[in-house]
Structure 1
Amino acid sequence: MTVSGFQSPLADLPRGPDGLATTDDALSRLRDRLPAFLERVLVDAGADGFVVPLDGGVETALTATFAVDAAGADRVTGLVMPAFLSHEATSRNAEAVATSLGIDHSRLQLQPVLAAFQETIGGSSGPADDPVATNNALSRLRMTCAYYVANATNALVASPINRTQYLLGSVAKHGETGADCLPFAGLYRTELEALARAVGIPEDLTVETSGSPLHPGESPATALEIDPETVDRILRRRIDEGVDVPTVADRTGVEAETVERLEAWVERTRHKRRRPTRPSAAT
């Protein structure tokens, strides 16, 4: 989202030798700039506050924290939206975050909604219990709930997805990306973890390598047997900076084939980042 007359919070960030914005100076700037960015988004939209989906993970906790810094606790609403019993622990984490920030929050149990949805769609051409389709449907149901609350309260929906998830397609199309603002879409997971530590987000929150705990996705870190931070370093150098494959491989200590496979992963999920195809570019 481009905010009129406002410089990107990511502009001119000092970076470490690995290309990531995890230096003390970079984190200090982000702590100042991201709340200011969200405040400007709110003003430009003429909205009264933010709705933040909370899943018990680092990104949503950080999103809610900066939303409070930008708008005040009384203008931020948290939504905890589990669907299965396995989500109970992360849901309690999410509620603890909301309580610590002093924001209003609600737990919306989506299992009945999902069951009704699957029953309704069961007569279609595909199985109603397909795991990929189910996870994608849940992501879109959560965003639907967030927008219902936002519409009813003149608020904006802030989604916590990061650049690692965005590039690797660890999100549902028209799910987590279908928000009013994506404050962390330009920051890698490693950068967000460093930022969370700098802000003081509890380290015992759930940390997933393939997405948030309520939004599971395939993890290239697992498939390629490389750690998540190395994934971020490769993506930063190869995708953002356009460094050639042999150099990236040398700088990150992996095989060139690994860099190429990760790049192919990004290409394979490109459809998730494209706008809907139109016959003309005219607006």
Structure 2
Amino acid sequence: MADFDGSLAELPRGPEGLATTDDALARLRERLPRFLEERVANAGADRLVVGLDGGVETALAATFAVEAVGRDRVTGLVMPAFLSHEAISRNAEAIATSLGIEHRRLQLQPVLAAFQETVGGSDGPADDLVATNNALSRLRMACTYYVANTTNALVVGTVNRTQFLLGSFTKHGETGADCLPFVSLFRTEVEALARAVGLPEELTVETSGSPLHPGESPAAAVGVPPEIVDRILGACVDRGVDTATAAERTGVDPSTVERLAEWCDRTRHKRRYPVTPATDT
């Protein structure tokens, strides 16, 4: 994705440093479907598969997938595991219905239970929430790829840049995909893009991360608005601005900037390829 990332880096940005201007959003609306269309053509694939979780990223990914290859060549997968996922799943199915795409609901609770029984060492979700949620993320990835493999499809991932930099995803889970169209766009930018596309707000769940992938949210933990988090990350990570300057520009305490920087550093392993003897320095 290096070339495509470069093109996104050239997007016109507002005073806050985010690509939420009308010009930027218009370019993204043109480029992202084309990006998916090119991935399908280059791979010789027939269709695209998107995991739908009721969130804005998955809804937008499915929308662009339809624009790229047509509704008859897109499959949406809704993969709940617990009763608490029911409302989220209905939202996800409503998105699929509104787009006119084939969609399936895969109930993963029995799969998770069988997995835990086979592996052993766990009595269920209450035993170790981190292990359980990570297992669910990876089970969803496995299910998505099974469908993709049996239909000659590519898997569209939906992690955004805020999630990616802060490590708000499961390693080998949500990033297990053939393409990640939003990994260069912060959450604020994705939301602005969804509004520009006309995605119905009532069909998405407002959340700082994926509704089906719960866990500690760095953006929520620092206690500042999500847009400020994105501005800090854009300044410090993408443009190399120092802590004091980033704090002054965003009107937050330097300790907040430092906490986000520490979070990025602590989750760096999630963004790296597996270490080898040649890279273990």
TM range (shorter): over 0.9
Q: Secondary structure at the match of 2:210?
A: coil
4+ aligned runs moved over 4 Å, structure 1: 6-9
Residue 71 in structure 1 maps to residue 69 in structure 2: yes
Is the contact made by 1:118 and 1:129 (CA closer than 8 Å) also made in structure 2? no
Cα distance in structure 2, aligned partners of 1:196 and 1:149: 27
The equivalent of 2:18 in structure 1 is 20
Q: Contact 2:56/2:191 (CA < 8 Å) preserved in 1?
A: yes
Residue in 2 that maps onto 1:34: 32
Who is 2:178 aligned against? 180
TM-fit CA distance, 1:73: 0.4
- Unaligned 5+ runs, structure 1: none
Q: Which residue of 1 aligns with 2:111?
A: 113
Alignment equivalent of 1:139, drawn from 130, 137, 140? 137
How many residue pairs were aligned? Answer: 277
Q: Which has the higher helix share?
A: 2
Identical pairs, percent = 73
TM-score by length of 2: 0.95
Q: TM-score, normalised by structure 1?
A: 0.94
**1:245 aligned partner:** 243
Q: Does 1:83 align with 2:81?
A: yes
Q: Structure 2: 5+ residue runs without aligned partners?
A: none
Whether 1:203 aligns to 2:197 is no
Partner AA of 1:270 in structure 2: R
- The structure-2 alpha-carbon separation of the partners of 1:147 and 1:25, relative to structure 1 and needing over 3 Å to count, comes to same
AA aligned opposite 2:207: E
CA apart distance, 1:18: 0.8
Distance 1:224 1:74, change over 3 A: same
Counterparts of 1:236-275 in structure 2, within 5 Å, are: 236-275=234-273
Distance 1:31 1:7, change over 3 A: same
2:146 match? 148
- Matched to 1:230, the amino acid is I
Whether the 8 Å CA contact 1:119–1:128 is kept in 2: the answer is no
Distance of 2:274 and 2:109 partners within structure 1: 30
| Letter aligned with residue 207 of structure 1 | E
Residues 84/40 of structure 1: CA separation in 2 closer, same or farther (3 Å cut) = same
CA distance in 2, matches of 1:202, 1:103: 17
Contact 2:125 2:132 in 1 (8 A): no
CA distance in 2, matches of 1:90, 1:84: 11
Which residue is 1:235 aligned to? 233
Secondary structure of the corresponding residue to residue 265 of structure 2: helix
